[in-house]
Amino acid sequence: MADHLCDPIERVPEAGELVTCEHLPLAIGGCASNLAIDLTRLGASVGVVGCVGQDAFGRYIIDTLSAAGADVADIHERTQAGTSGTLIINVRGEDRRFIHAIGANGLLRAEGIPLDRVRKARVLYVGGYLLMPALEAEPLAEVFRQARAAGVKTVLDIVLPGPGDHWPKLECVLRETDVFLPNHDEAAALLGEPDPFKQADRFTAAGAGAVVITCGGQGSVVVAAGRRMRSGTYPVEFKGGTGAGDAFDAGFIRGLLLGEDLEGCVRWGSAVGASCVRSISATDGVFTRDQAEAFMREHVLSIEHLA
């Protein structure tokens, strides 16, 4: 999707009021796009599957991903809808506010994920699940089943479209998910449970192999195969949180691709996620592989083993 951002403003304007800022940048956005750019920066080979409109924003997304080094052969231009977009309002000292148009992302179906290419991959990541109405649970679960049968790791992240009973659509796919990466707020909204460890227990009981609950500035919680960990955060200057969760996912997946254990993957995710918040855009501040490795050599991430 296309992200329309503002530099941090002092307050949300009143009705009819104009508030100025220095920059109103256009940037690429969306879970899959952000993760693809981040992973290419970290030295991985990435292909993207998705839908955009036949408009200037769609062309911008395809061109930006291609320039970053991602394979865009499976991004399809659709005439039925415009390119998805998000207006991101940054208020100094507050979390971001989002206004979103689903657009062409609402046309993506599981049948559009090319299984012949999936079977040749090492990791299949689906981001923004639950926000795309045509990406139905059982067909997506079948894609994950076939991926796992071919030895491909399945990784899932979600975006909630608002209040509702989303659990049935999620539970079906969790049974075929190797790594589930929601944030704490999403998990709380899904389950009505504020404790991140209890959230993770519920997701693993539903079938997810490993669950990592990201908790923003409070670090992350990990539950997998009887192991329970709580990690801290790396020290960085915070400018904006847009894309930080996607950057964490990219770092975690880079760890998987490098053969890291669960703790190592969390270090990678935390380092890359931390690098993202140095910019207001979703990808501009993200480390390269060399930068990430140097950063992790210079800084220690606290990880507490609870079981």
Domain with residue 280: its CATH number is 3.40.1190.20
pLDDT at 292: 97
Would you say 282 and 248 are in contact if contact means Cβ atoms under 8 Å apart?
A: no
Q: Would the pLDDT of 275 be above 70?
A: yes
* pLDDT, tens only, 15-32: 999 999 999 989 999 999
Q: Would the pLDDT of 262 be above 90?
A: yes
Confidence of residue 225 (pLDDT cuts 50, 70, 90): confident
Phi-psi region of 152 (alpha: psi -120 to 50; beta: other; left: phi over 0): beta
Task: Give the long-range contacts of residues 144-152, CB within 8 A, separation 24 or more.
Answer: 144/173, 144/176, 144/177, 145/176, 146/115, 146/118, 146/119, 147/115, 147/118, 147/119, 147/121, 148/176, 148/178, 150/118, 150/119, 152/118, 152/119, 152/121, 152/122, 152/123, 152/124
* pLDDT, tens only, 31-77: 999 999 999 999 999 999 999 999 999 999 999 999 999 999 999 99
Mean pLDDT across the chain = 95
In the chain, the percentage of residues whose pLDDT exceeds 70 is 100
> Which tokens belong to 193?
């449970």
pLDDT at 307: 64
Coil, strand or helix at 181: coil
Average pLDDT for 66-91 = 95
Lowest mean pLDDT, pick from 3-12, 203-212, 267-276: 3-12
* pLDDT, tens only, 126-169: 999 999 999 999 999 999 999 999 999 999 999 998 888 999 99
Would you say 5 and 242 are in contact if contact means Cβ atoms under 8 Å apart?
A: yes
Between 92 and 82, the higher pLDDT residue: 82
Q: Which residues, at least 6 apart from 273, have a Cβ–Cβ distance to it below 8 Å?
A: 214, 244, 245, 247, 248, 251
Nearest one of 94, 91, 60, 89 to 77, comparing CA atoms: 60
Confidence of residue 226 (pLDDT cuts 50, 70, 90): confident
Q: Which domain holds residue 224?
A: 2-305
Q: Would the pLDDT of 99 be above 70?
A: yes
Output Rg (C-alpha) for the chain, integer angstroms: 18
- How many structural domains compose the chain? 1
Cα 98 vs. chain centroid, distance in angstroms?
Answer: 15
- DSSP string across 18-37: ----S---EEE-SHHHHHHH
pLDDT at 283: 87
* Cα 33 from Cα 39, distance rounded (Å): 10
pLDDT at 194: 96
* Predicted TM-score (pTM) of this structure: 0.93
